[in-house]
Structure 1
Amino acid sequence: MLDKLAEESHLPPRIENAFKLFLKRTPPERLNRTVRTLFIEYLSHQHDFLPPDFHLYLDDLSNLFILLDKIDCETKGWYTECEEKN
């Protein structure tokens, strides 16, 4: 499926619609801040007991943060300051 997705110029309609709904409800800057905060809180409490495959979590989260940063750049002005802060 990933090869097919890479070849297509558009996302499948169901994914595109779900993503649009997600963006309508969730400011990416706020989500980015929330996930980073939760992650740091998790690390501060679990730093001595991290799972052996934690490096995979870091890779996935890094990719998510990169995506959220790009989405945030592309959606500047879509949300009110109140929506982005709450």
Structure 2
Amino acid sequence: MVNLTGITPTVNTRLYAYGFIGAGISGYPTISLSPGQVRPVLAVLPVTSDGYITVFNAAGTIDVLADIQGYYFDTRM
């Protein structure tokens, strides 16, 4: 789980967060923001085998803060 915060975008934008390499961007944004807005969201994301996520900004520029809130293992694997 990650608390992802978009901070003061320059234009209307969407942030997409995902973990698997090759997964690509889904059709659903993790956060949608307006110019100047600061908005957090708690997201449950899969991560790469080495623990990374990718955050993609759709338009303009934006600062992003990501805080890991916790994790769990899939014991079925």
TM-score category, normalised to shorter length: under 0.3
Give the TM-score normalised by the residue count of structure 1: 0.21
Q: Max radius of gyration: which structure?
A: 1
Please identify which structure carries the higher helix content.
1
Please identify which structure carries the higher strand content.
2
Give the TM-score normalised by the residue count of structure 2: 0.23
